[in-house]
Amino acid sequence: MESKVFVVTSGKGGVGKTTATANIGTAMAMTGKNVLVIDLDIGLRNLDVVMGLENRVVFTVVDVIKGRCNHKKALIKDRRVDNLFLIPASQIDTKDAINEQEIRELCATLKKEFDYIFIDCPAGIEQGFKNAIAAADEAIVITTPDVSAVRDADRIIGLLDSESISSKLIINRINPELVARGDMLTHDDVTDILSIKLLGLVPLDDSITTSTNRGEFAVTDDSSPAGRAFFRIGQRLNGHQDLPIEVPQVKGGFMKKFRKIISGR
Amino acid sequence: MIAGFIKRIMKTQASGDVAKQRLQIALVCDRLEVSKEVFGLIQQDMVQLLSRYFDIDTDGIVFNISRENKKAHLVINTPILRLKQASAKKATKTLATAP
């Protein structure tokens, strides 16, 4: 099977790129694929801490690119999930420390060893973004149902399009109660506006905060609705394209049902 | 909840719909690289043009931008009350004088 490089990007910061990268990568490793996640948010590294691997960082992606170590030395193997590896970002360099050509060469080498490579892209559209998309075969665009995030996603999709990189969309942090009340953009609104293929819908979920606090993966927790959504996204990327996309629903409960009746939806 | 109930009775537009409309306008300006002012002028001109031939309900007019096949489509949806008498007469006259 041909290995593939995905870039996880959003334009706007704080919409869940790093969480999505960690969880989708983990989901695919759980199904037996050899997965590498690379943090390219140079200077603002976070993927290591989100994955609970921050204490094991010795070498970074910048060390590998600058020839200060072999790439094998920078690989951190996760001890909980088989076949899952991380190459962390450097905290002391800047986005200009590396360039697009260097990333292309690095990914060409790594593609020989991994089935899937996920690149966590920094926010913004400057050099860091250009580096992150340089070697990407496909893009995963994350947005939340907010005007600012959707607008930035549109800009990112345009930029990816001009580089002939196809994108698929994840809408993160959907609050079904606000949607039911008409006070949040629906997933149909967002896909209408952005008109790209939908990859998955992830509900707003407190367990993302708690699992991130602990450096654990939501996707390995069956009781986490967002984790389950990320797992299905992983399966869709892993050849099960037709796996139905579940729309986050308002949970039961008397007051909520009552509210539903009152709001007439 | 109660606020929502009152809002529904008052028939104010849900904020989700407002967000969608605002985004659609903002994105067409972004994509076409025209300013909001220019887009406003285009809207005004279209209303003026249509008003020459029809009585239209200007409150009910909706400008929408959809994107298909990487192209933006401008869709104008306007309630037409009636054909303007003057333009109707002119049209008949033109027809009558035609050879």
- Comparing alpha-carbon positions, the chain B residue that sits nearest to A154 is B27
| CB neighbour class for A86 (10 Å; exposed up to 12, middle 13-18, buried from 19) | buried
Say yes or no for a CB contact (<8 Å) between B20 and A193.
Answer: yes
* DSSP tag of A95: G
Chain B residues closer than 8 Å to A166 by CB: none
Q: How far apart are CA A249 and CA A227, in angstroms?
A: 15
Instruction: Give SS3 for A38.
Output: strand
Written as tens digits, the pLDDT of chain A (265 aa) is 689 999 999 999 999 999 999 999 999 999 999 999 999 999 999 999 999 999 999 999 999 999 999 999 999 999 999 999 999 999 999 999 999 999 999 999 999 999 999 999 999 999 999 999 999 999 999 999 999 999 999 999 989 988 999 999 999 999 999 999 999 999 999 998 998 999 999 999 999 999 999 999 999 999 999 999 999 999 999 989 899 999 999 987 655 555 555 655 4
Chain B residues closer than 8 Å to A150 by CB: 23
The shortest CB-CB distance from A185 to any of B16, B67, B68 is to B16
- Comparing alpha-carbon positions, the chain B residue that sits nearest to A162 is B70
Q: How far apart are CA A61 and CA B17, in angstroms?
A: 44
Say yes or no for a CB contact (<8 Å) between B68 and A185.
Answer: no
Q: What is the pLDDT of residue B96?
A: 58
Q: What is the pLDDT of residue A4?
A: 97
Q: Do the interacting molecules here have an ipTM over 0.85? A: no
**What residue ranges of chain B have pLDDT lower than 50?**
99
Instruction: Give SS3 for A66.
Output: coil
- Comparing alpha-carbon positions, the chain B residue that sits nearest to A195 is B67
Q: What is the pLDDT of residue B72?
A: 66
Say whether residue A259 is in contact with chain B using an 8 A CB cutoff: yes
Which of A125, A143, A154, A166 would you mutate first to test chain B, the one with the most B CBs within 10 A? A154
Q: What is the pLDDT of residue A125?
A: 95
Residue in A225, A222, A223, A188 with CA at minimum distance from that of residue A203: A225
Amino acid sitting at position A24: I
Say whether residue A163 is in contact with chain B using an 8 A CB cutoff: no
Answer for the pair A212, B46: CB distance below 8 angstroms, yes or no: no
Residue in A45, A27, A28 with CA at minimum distance from that of residue A88: A45
What residues contact B8, with CB distance under 8 A and at least 6 apart?
A263, A264
Angle, helix B36-53 to helix B15-32, in steps of 10 degrees: 100
Say whether residue A156 is in contact with chain B using an 8 A CB cutoff: no
